[in-house]
Structure 1
């Protein structure tokens, strides 16, 4: 009799724990996960006048194929990223956002603005 109560309690705890694990991936997503089209415009310096890229945000982390990308987007939309040696920060809200960036081309400082929209 006592064994059955212990077994039921253990089974109940195991099922509750398993249900929590099944929900975990959905909770890990951030409101800004997905594909983003980014346009970068140079305002000063000798960098390319403009560039376009598609970035992926997954669990708040930013990545792009073929680029050295390190950065995050917080739940409130705050962007901080380094892309191929340039640094950018800004704000996303809903399906769009923008901010500033700075970097260098051949040792000459460059800077400008960026805009992003979710695909």
Structure 2
């Protein structure tokens, strides 16, 4: 009788764990997944003075329509991204974030700051 209860408890725990593992991929992998409106401001160099675009974070990976984007946002909100040859890093927290970027225009170095807000 006691072995039946232990076996039933073990089997129930196993089913609960298996269900959680199967359901896990349906849950966002990053607390920062979603659409982000990003404004980039040039502080030094001859790059465009200010631009805005929408980036998408999916499972912590960053992408954008019509742009060469690669990079990630860690679970702690740390951003590391390459966009059309420029490099950005910074921090997201909740629904906002900011950081620095650097790149070049016609071979002349540029750099500045960026700010983001979740849409």
Fold equivalence (TM over 0.5): yes
Q: State the match for 1:109 in structure 2.
A: 109
Deviation at 1:28? 5.0
CA offsets per residue over residues 68-102 of structure 1, 9 Å max, x none?
00000000000000000000000000000100000
Cα distance in structure 2, aligned partners of 1:102 and 1:32: 23
1:38 has 2:38 as partner:
yes
Q: State the match for 1:55 in structure 2.
A: 55
TM-score normalised by length of structure 2: 0.83
Deviation at 1:16? 5.8
Cα distance in structure 1, aligned partners of 2:28 and 2:57: 12
Unmatched tracts of structure 2, length 5 or more:
1-10
TM-score normalised by length of structure 1: 0.83
Cα distance in structure 2, aligned partners of 1:51 and 1:63: 17
Question: Equivalences for 1:78-117 in 2 at 5 Å?
Answer: 78-117=78-117
Hey, which bits of structure 1, 4+ residues long, moved more than 3 A? 12-18
